[in-house]
């Protein structure tokens, strides 16, 4: 039986690992990131793949850096015939990519060559795309540049945010891999080189990218906020303090204020001028406070008309 080494870390990877187990594949181990401190209390927390692998009775390895010689040797000693990665979170060294007889494949959450990199789902929503998808591909030394084996398209609706799209793409990736894997093992799959001239990149989101640019049109602000929901969450600055913006909605209002001006605060929302149009802030969070609906701030002195988000 084909010996499969699975490498993944977040919740996106879990349905894929579970499918492999349910389909009866021989999973020699699950390799995932080390436990990390989470939350204000810095509680050491295992990644979702570790918890699921342990539940399924699959051995777990957690290298700090899989490129470290000692940790690499531990992984190579498992002697897999095929490596399957899904949002593992570390770049694999050449020795590991070339070791399995059937190679190393990746479940990538975009329609490659679009959105190579670590944040393809966030970027697709931020860019206001109407569709994205999943690609099963052979891994190469260059970032997400390997040959394509199969793809499936997934629509993005206005109701989607990064969280909901994560779930849709994870499910799509599970089903696509389920369909494609027998051909990969039998050596009968397609292998389509990517057109590098069409490649775009979706690097990991930086802190500066999380900040709302109010000079952009209302539609762009709407896409930005839902593209960063439920993590890492968009923010703005009011009176020198950061304010997380959890939810916004588009409006038909047309005003003449400057971008970032608070037009009105009501029980419905806090209405803010953008570069083109007014957007309704529905849910927000002051520094050190709870996340609350905008109506709770309707009479707050910080959010009176005439205030300004920087």
Q: How far apart are CA 68 and CA 235, in angstroms?
A: 37
Q: What torsion, rounded to 10 degrees, do the Cα atoms 80, 86, 89, 92 define?
A: 30
Q: 128's torsion region: left (phi>0), alpha (psi -120 to 50) or beta? A: left
Is 112 labelled as part of a ligand binding site?
A: yes
Residue 17 annotated as part of some ligand binding site:
no
Continuous H helices in the chain: 14-22, 48-56, 69-76, 94-98, 120-126, 162-186, 218-227
**Is 150 known to sit in a ligand binding site?**
no
Cβ neighbours around 35 below 10 Å, total: 13
Q: What is the CA radius of gyration of the chain?
A: 22
Which of 181, 180, 273 has its CA nearest to residue 221? 273
* Residue that the structure tokens 């002697």 belong to: 79
113 in a known ligand binding site: yes
Those residues whose C-beta lies under 8 Å from the C-beta of residue 213, and which sit 6 or more positions away, are 220, 221, 224
Is 10 within 8 Å of 36 (Cβ atoms)? Answer: no
- 3-state class of 72 per DSSP? helix
Known binding residues for (6S)-5,6,7,8-tetrahydrofolate are 110-113
Known binding residues are 110-113
């Amino acid at each position: 039986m084909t010996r499969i080494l699975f490498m993944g870390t977040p919740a996106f990877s879990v349905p894929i690992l579970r499918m492999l187990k349910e389909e009866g594949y021989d999973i020699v181990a699950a390799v995932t990131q080390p436990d990390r401190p989470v939350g204000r209390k810095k509680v050491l927390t295992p990644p979702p793949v570790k918890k699921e692998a342990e539940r399924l009775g699959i051995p777990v390895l957690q290298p700090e850096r899989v490129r470290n010689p000692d940790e690499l040797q531990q992984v190579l000693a498992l002697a897999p015939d095929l490596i399957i990665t899904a949002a593992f979170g570390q770049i694999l060294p050449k020795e590991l990519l070339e070791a399995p007889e059937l190679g190393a494949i990746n479940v990538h959450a975009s329609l490659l060559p679009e959105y190579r990199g670590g944040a393809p789902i966030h970027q697709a929503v931020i860019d206001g795309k109407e569709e994205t998808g999943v690609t099963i591909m052979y891994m190469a030394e260059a970032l997400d540049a390997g040959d394509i084996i199969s793809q499936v398209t997934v629509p993005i609706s206005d109701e989607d945010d990064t969280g909901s799209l994560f779930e849709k793409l994870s499910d799509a990736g599970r089903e696509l891999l389920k369909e494609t894997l027998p051909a990969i093992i039998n050596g009968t799959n397609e292998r389509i080189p990517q057109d590098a001239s069409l490649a775009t990149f979706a690097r990991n989101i930086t802190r500066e990218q999380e900040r709302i640019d109010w000079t952009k049109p209302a539609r762009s602000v709407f896409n930005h906020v839902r593209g960063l929901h439920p993590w890492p969450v968009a923010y703005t600055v009011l009176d020198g303090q950061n304010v997380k913006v959890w939810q916004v909605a588009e409006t038909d209002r047309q005003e003449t204020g400057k971008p970032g001006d608070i037009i009105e605060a009501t029980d419905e929302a806090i209405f803010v001028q953008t570069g083109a149009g007014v957007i309704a802030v529905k849910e927000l969070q002051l520094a050190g406070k709870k996340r609350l609906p905008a109506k709770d701030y309707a009479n707050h002195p910080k959010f009176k008309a005439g205030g300004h988000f920087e």
